[in-house]
Each structure stands twice: as structure tokens, then as C-alpha cells.
Structure 1
């Protein structure tokens, strides 16, 4: 029995296994980054927010797209020759492809929103914050329009998967997909470049500034994927020509999730790096007497709050000043570095010296 159901030739050439392997592998890798992000945000710095919930929903959508894609390969996706596609497979092939579109569109919107809401954590009130909110609204409207048109591409709708329907009409696929892919590239670039003006103007060390710019700039790789997708769209002529397009779609949404997660993993990397080298300053644990890292205050991205008119660390459990120590996270605001304050850098360091 071959990879594809109902094929006359069990050895009919197909890239179905390749599509399955790439989709499954990337979905697993993106899941690992999501799990690490949840650990950092919820356990290490205790600052789980809207962007973190969004990335969880986004991964579910990406996983749904991967499942639909893998199932579709069993009904003919990936076959090299249109003559090898059994006529009885066309209905299920088209229906499953129709089901995959909402998962894909939701996932590419999700990782953009996760990035944009993460920017709101450190962008202070002002023109850049309003611009970021405007980009969020524009992204939602564009992807909602994309979804509505996609699921109503044909009238009647069932014409998209039922070959027995002979009456009706469809929007021409190639111009539509090319236009949507081009606009998606525009939004990808806007989303990835949104925090750059704020970071460039911030008064932090050049080395740290370059690292932050590089992390957010990773998203430009997604633009390259979109450009490749446009080339595959232009080649659409029959059912099977959608295989490269769907393959690159699976790469795009999972890569987007990974890129959105990478900047949030800095606390984990820095903590274990310092732990392995035995260096770094910190507070002494009440139990062991050894220095422990104030992970929440040192490594977390800062968030801007109106409460008490001050910037609080995302790692703070409460807006407290008692300085009590739990695990590796300080409750108090004992070490702050407000890198985006309009008045410049304000840094407070409290040194605790104990004698054995």
C-alpha cells in the first residue's frame, strides 16, 4: 500500500512523507519554545500576560494546520503527477484543504499579535505606543478580511471541494493569493520593525541594544518565506500544485511562533549561563547562604504601569517594597533599570552584605 489512499500505483511518486515530516518536526520545535516561554514567563519572572496567551492560541492553530496538512497528504497532497490522483479522492482533498485555511490565517495573525503585545510591555506612552496599537488593529482587520474572502472564495462555497457541482463561480486563485501574500509581507515587515525606533533611542549599552535589535530582527526571515510562497502561488494550475505552497505555509507559521518566543527566553539562557560558570552577583539564599540570581528583576523585559506612576519589572510578583526573597524572584523593586524613561536611565542597586 502506497502513501496515498486509493492510488492505482502504490509507488506513485509523492512528497507526502516530506510534507508530513517537516510539518510534524517544526510543530514540535515550536511547541518546545512555547513550553520554555511559559516556564520563563509564569515560573521564573511571574509575568504571564496577553502576549503569552496569544502565543498559546497561535500554537494550537499551527498544530491544527499541521494535522490537517498531514491528513491531506493521505488524500493526494504531494503527488507529483495529476494522473496519479484518484478521482474519488478529490472531494476529501478539497474539503480538507478548505478546513486548513482558517488554521493557517489564524496562526500567522497570532504570532504577529503576540509580538506586538510584547512590544507594549516596554514601549512607554506616546506616539510609538499609539502607532503600535494602530498596527494591531490594522493586522486584525487585514487577516479577518483575508479569512472572510478565503472561506467564500467560491459561490456556492461547496464548489471549492465538490467536483459534482457544475454551476457557480470562483474568484481567480492566483491573483487573490498573490495579493494576500504581498500584503502579508508588508505587515510582516511593519511588525518586525515597529520596536526599532524605540530601541534605537533607548539609552542602554550598545551591545545590549544590538542584541535586542537582532532578536526582533529575526522575524525578517519570515519575509523570505513569504517571498518563496509567492513564487509557489504563481505555479498553481491544478490540485496538486498547492503542495509547495502548503509546505511553506507550515514553515512560515511555526517559524513565526519560534521567532516570537526567542526574545522571551533570555532570562533562562542568562540564568543557566551564570549558574554554569558560577559567576554573577545576587542575593544570598536564606537556606544555603549562597548567592542566587534576582532573575525577575535583572533579566525580564520591563513593563510600564500607571500604578504609583513608576515602571515595574515584569518579574515582580507584587508592587511591594519589603524586599522579601522567594526562590529566584524578588518581590520588591530592589534593582531597576528603566531603559526607556524619557528622563534617561534610572538605576538603583541595593547591596546586602552578610557575615558568616
Structure 2
């Protein structure tokens, strides 16, 4: 946490601990909407995999784990926003709320790493079911898996060793706090996360482009895969707000609302992106069922045969 210089503190108004100016409800609305959408997409994916196809595989369980940790990110952000002063100016923040906010920040960073890592690994594992043996697609997927796992394990370890002891991260009463500057760590994490999101997005595109399938189907698959670009955009916006909060402004609680908003949104978009292909399969199944019912009056035998592994 950057210590504001005395000349900056001198420009701050007198603290108002009883009735401070607060942010509006936009963060709460955005967080809850994206949590709902991410959870809905996951539930529909599970319905397809377990309810219709009758099996859950490794990538499905990885996405369930991502959703659990992602819900933890949203919960922590809302808790800090509503109770620990992430919705007020820094000069109106009491010392107790400052310490609690640092504790929640630490938890959010850990949960974010776990959620985004599991979501990316889930998507890449699903690619392996599509990639032929000894293909460039398969080698690229393994390389992407290694990159995602290595960088996130490194960031997770760094989270716990950047302050010695760890409690120095939030215990602001310590006279001697042995902590590395967190701005470089956070910016590196944001930049490499955006790179990893970009890699996950582009890895299957060359294989789809060169696949011997009808042009219309190829374009549809590329468009479906390209939904991942929204995750890249969210990661870039999170990177910008990290830069602004840790290197530009000292009013970190007031402007940090955008950082925490995009942090939770990025997590949920990653979950949504990993589930969208299964939603496409679900729509195809419903259409097939409706057509069969209208023509024969019976459901299609072995409904799971209408649900192949998504090609995206």
C-alpha cells in the first residue's frame, strides 16, 4: 500500500466518519448481474453434461471449481464495498476499515488467481478432446496449459511471500513491515493474465480455419470461439485500473471500485465463455427434440446423440 506524501494529505478535506460521501449501487448491480449470468451458464452446462449426456468430465469439474472461487471473489468485493469502505474516499476511511479492507484485498487476489486459472485450464482441457494426436493444435494447447499454470502458480506463491510475515500485508500497526512493492506484482499479473486470455482465445482458431468443413459452419465456429475476446477486453480494463489505483491516485478506495468491478466481471466472463459452447449444444438439442415431437409425437431416442462435444 502506497503511503501518500504529506503534501497530498494536506489537500484532503477533514475526515467524515459519520456520514461520508458514498458511491452509488452500480458496483453491486454489475457484480450480482454477472454472478447470476455466470452461475446460470454453469448450471445449464451441468444440465447438458450430467442430465442429458450422462457424464461429467475433468473440464466440467474444473469449471465448477472456477465458479466456486469466482463466487468467492464477488462475495468478498461486495462485503468490502458495503462494509469496509471500498465505496468512500480514503480520507473518510477509519483505521479498522482500512485493515479489514486490506484483508479482503488479499483474499480477493488469491481467489481471483484460483478462479481464473481453473477456468482457463478447463477450456484448454476441453480443447484436448478436439485436438488430433500429434497435431499442432494439440501441442499448442499443451504449451498454453503450461504457460497458464506456471505463471499463476508463481503469482500465487508471490502473494504469500511479498510480505514477511504475511500478516504485514494488512497489519498496518507494525512499525517494521517487510513488504515488497505490490504495484509491479499486480501489474505483471494483470498483463500476463491478459496475455493468457488472448492465448486461450486464439489457440483453436488456426485449426478451425483450416478444418475441412462447410464455410458457413467454419465462420459460425470462429464467431463462437471469438466470444473469448470479451474476456481479453475485461483483462485489459482491469490492467488499466490496477495501474491507475496503484500508480496514479492515492484515493484508492474511491477509484478502486472500478478495479474490483472489472476483477469480478473478468472472472465471470471467463466462466461464461467456457460454458457458451455447451449452451449452443443445448439449443440444438431443444430444436431437435421440438422437431421430433412435432413430427412423430415422441422424444428422440438416446437424446445424448444430438449433443456432440462442442466444436468450440
What TM-score, normalized by structure 2, do the two folds share? Answer: 0.85
Partner Cα separation in structure 1 for residue 161 and residue 23 of structure 2:
30
How far apart are the structure 1 equivalents of 2:293 and 2:209?
Answer: 27
Alignment match, 1:86: 94
Of 280, 287, 293, the match for 1:273: 287
SS in 2 for 1:48: coil
The verdict on how the C-alpha distance between 1:294 and 1:266 changes in structure 2, with shifts beyond 3 A counting, is farther
Residue 22 (structure 1) shift: 1.9
Alignment of 1:249-268 (within 5 A): 249-268=263-282
1:151 Cα offset (Å): 2.7
The Cα shift of 1:269 comes to: 0.6
* Aligned match of 2:219: 210
> What aligned pairs does 1:25-44 form with structure 2 within 5 A after superposition?
25-44=33-52
Structure 1 segment 200-349 matched on structure 2, within 5 A: 200-236=209-245, 237-238=249-250, 239-240=252-253, 241-276=255-290, 278=291, 290=298, 292=300, 295-301=303-309
* Equivalent residue for 1:136, pick from 122, 134, 145: 145
Offset from partner CA, 1:132-151 (integer Å, 9 cap, x none):
12221221111111111123
Q: Relative to 1, partners in 2 of residues 1:156 and 1:291: Cα closer, same or farther, differing over 3 Å?
A: closer
Distance 1:71 1:38 in 2: 29
How far 1:57 moved relative to its partner? 0.4
Structure 2 residue runs of 5 or longer lacking an equivalent are 1-15
Report what 1:59 is aligned to: 67
Runs of 5+ in structure 1 lacking a partner?
A: 1-6, 303-338, 340-356
Matches of 1:152 and 1:87, distance apart in 2: 24
TM-score normalised per structure 1? 0.75
Equivalence for 1:180: 189
- Structure 1 residue 281, shift from structure 2 partner: 11
RMSD: 2.4
Tell me the alpha carbon deviations over residues 186-234 of structure 1, each in whole angstroms, 9 at most, x when there is no partner: 1111111111122222211222211111111111111111111122112
Residue 115 (structure 1) aligns with: 123
Matched residue of 1:186: which SS?
helix
What does residue 6 of structure 2 align with? none
Cα shift at 1:118: 0.9
Alignment correspondent of 1:97: 105
* Alignment of 1:159 onto 2:168: yes
Task: For 1:46 and 1:126, locate their aligned partners in 2 and report how far apart those are by CA, in whole Å.
Answer: 29
Greater RCO between the two (CA within 8 Å, min separation 6)? 2
Shift of 1:275: 4.2
CA pair 279-93 structure 1, distance change in 2 beyond 3 A: same
Q: CA separation in 1, counterparts of 2:21 and 2:180?
A: 32
Larger radius of gyration: 1
The structure with more strand, counted as a fraction of residues: 1
Distance 1:201 1:295, change over 3 A: farther
Give the equivalent residue in structure 2 for 1:311. Answer: none
Secondary structure in 2 aligned to 1:235?
helix
More helix by share: 2
